[in-house]
Structure 1
Amino acid sequence: MKARSLVFDLFGDYLRYRGGEARLRGLISLLACFGIPEATARVAVTRLRKEGWLSATKQGRETVFALTDTAWQMLDEGRERIFRRSTGPWDGQWHMVIYQVPETERALRERLRKQLAWVGFGPLSSSVWVSPHDRTGQVRQAFAEDPAVQLDVFHSRSEDIASDRAIAARCWDLATLDADYAGFLDDYRPRLSTYRRDPPEGADALVERMRLIHDYRRFPFHDPDLPPELLPEGWRGRRAHELFLEAHGLLRAPAEAAVTDLVNGSAKTP
């Protein structure tokens, strides 16, 4: 786990509930739990500030950092994708985005594709992306100030459910994703049993919970959160999500206690 991503995770899962800010020495103590040296922690925080993700204020002789509004928005969008899954029956409607980006704007095109994938769209063809969820507004908002991006949005239905499943199979590599979920379940089922009996304490609990988030959050980048009607038989994504939520909840109290001790300077770091 890298210092940069750890800073975001610490703010998103812990520091937001403690006023949304932290002293530099508190951040250094927290990052030390993950083997991040003080010098590396200082560099990471400085870079995040220069990039506009962190703001800094002086309180006496100490510097206090907080996430900027842009950073909070990014974290909240990520949290929505990680912790929530769509429920209920699908209405059978596909939401389609057809885009045009000049050939000279390759970086912009790649950013658009990443945004489409992030909100759950899949490529039916190179410039035609579809989703069973209506998140076209999020895509439009993300590129509202980019005149080089032209978006056309359509809402339609296919011929039948067999066609719908064929579309889903074309747009996403569900077999590989299901296998990745199986690996996650194999890794964390034994740990979950341990969390239920005797959860870790102190910095160990914080590290374990952060590792859980780190290992699970890659899935929302690839999982479009398809409705059950479009999923293959025996899909393991739902079970993995339920395990993640239970493990995350079981580790919450000891991890939060560790954060409190560390930011208050009363706990020893490794």
Structure 2
Amino acid sequence: MRPRAALFDIHGLFLRDYRGEVWVGTLLRLMGGLGFTPEAVRVALSRMVSHGWLANRRIGRKSYYALTERSRRRLDEAAARIFTPDDPTWDGRWRMLTYSVPEGRRADRDRLRRELTWLGFGPLSSSTWITPAPLFERAREVLEAQGLKEYVALFTAEHHGPGADRRLAEKCWDLDAINGRYGQFNAGVQPRLVAARQRRPPLPDNACFAAQVRLVHEFRKFLFIDPGLPAPLLPRDWRGHEARRLFREYFELLAPGSTRFFLAAFAAAPDRPRNQAALVASLRGRLGRAARPLALRTSLQGVAR
């Protein structure tokens, strides 16, 4: 795990719904809990600012950082996909995007392909991408941002063969390889979950924080390869369902201690006073929407007091 990726994970976990700034000392302490040096963290922060992922501000000799709207949107998309039910409904229709981007804009074309992959489209051919999900609105936003609307056409279609819809999905995504990756994830997480449940005394807060960030980091890699297909398009032995169950259970187990560790380190800009209750409510609401864990809600209420 690289420093920039860890910073994204921390912001996605704890600061995505927080509209204020966070002191660099908070980030240094949190990242130190993951084994990163202050020098590596400061370099990563500087690069994230230069690339438009973070905004920074100095007050006296202290630096404070906040998410930009660009990064907040990306983290919102990631959270929605990580914490949504793993069996989306499907109306049986395919959404198709075709493009003809001039060769002189090859870099824009490559960037478009990366964005389409991130959204959940798969390549039926080099310039025709499809998805079973209703993603046209988000695709239009990407096209608008990249100035590519005039080179693209969008269609809604039904597949009439030859072959079943599942075979079509297999052409667009390497489902066997993705399934294998889920199997590896399951084999790694299952024993860690069992060990954490059986540990007495429970894991200390700093260990919960480190384990939860690493868990999210591992799981969010699937956002780049798994489009989140509905059940009719998946292999019958799809291991993604088990992976999502293990992720949620381990995430929930680690969340109380991890949140306490974060709140103990958190400091906001002095001219925008810290509102711990609001931050806790934000975290509780997001985690509650994921799985409504009673134990977690109770723990966070205790922290708020």
Give the TM-score normalised by the residue count of structure 2: 0.81
Q: Which residue of 2 aligns with 1:246?
A: 249
Look up the match of 2:117.
Answer: 117
Check whether the contact 1:57–1:64 (CA below 8 A) recurs between aligned residues.
Answer: yes
Letter aligned with residue 179 of structure 1: G
Partner secondary structure for residue 58 of structure 1:
strand
Query: What RMSD in Å do the two structures reach over aligned CA positions?
Result: 2.0
Query: Which piece of structure 1 moves more, 146-155 or 129-138?
Result: 146-155
Aligned to 2:277: none
**Is residue 67 of structure 1 aligned with residue 70 of structure 2?**
no
Q: Which runs of 5+ in 1 are unaligned?
A: 265-270
Change (3 A) 1:161 1:212: farther
The percent identity for this pair of structures is 36
- Where do 1:33-72 residues align within 5 Å? 33-72=33-72
Matched, 1:230 2:230: no
- The residue aligned with 2:296 is none
Asked if the contact 2:16–2:75 (Cα under 8 Å) also holds between the matched residues in 1, the reply is no
Residue identity in the other structure for 1:218: K
Question: For residues 30-63 of structure 1, what are the alpha-carbon distances to aligned partners after superposition, in whole Å with 9 as ceiling and x for unaligned?
Answer: 1111221111211221222222222223345422
Q: Which residue of 2 aligns with 1:6?
A: 6
The question of whether the paired residues in 2 share the 8 Å contact of 1:120 and 1:223 is answered with yes
The structure where helix makes up a greater share of residues is 2
Matches within 5 A, 1:195-234: 195-198=196-199, 199-234=202-237
Q: What's the secondary structure of 2:228's corresponding residue? A: coil
Q: Which residue in 1 is equivalent to 2:274? A: none
Whether 1:152 and 2:161 are equivalent positions in the alignment is no
The count of residues paired between Structure 1 and Structure 2 equals 264
8 A contact 1:11–1:20 mirrored in 2: no
Change (3 A) 1:86 1:192: closer
Shift of 1:155: 0.7
Q: 1:34–1:147: structure 2 CA closer, same or farther, 3 Å change rule?
A: closer
Q: Please give the per-residue CA displacement for 1:184-217, whole angstroms capped at 9, x wherever unaligned.
A: 1111111111232334222211111111111111
- Deviation at 1:179? 0.8
Give 1:88-167 correspondences, 5 Å limit: 89-148=89-148, 150-159=151-160, 162-167=163-168
Distance 1:134 1:175 in 2: 24
Give the secondary structure class of the aligned counterpart of 1:224. coil
Alignment-derived partner of residue 169 in structure 1:
170
TM-score by length of 1: 0.90
Does the CA contact (< 8 Å) of 2:16 and 2:76 recur in 1?
no
CA–CA separation in structure 2 for the residues paired with 1:255 and 1:80: 21
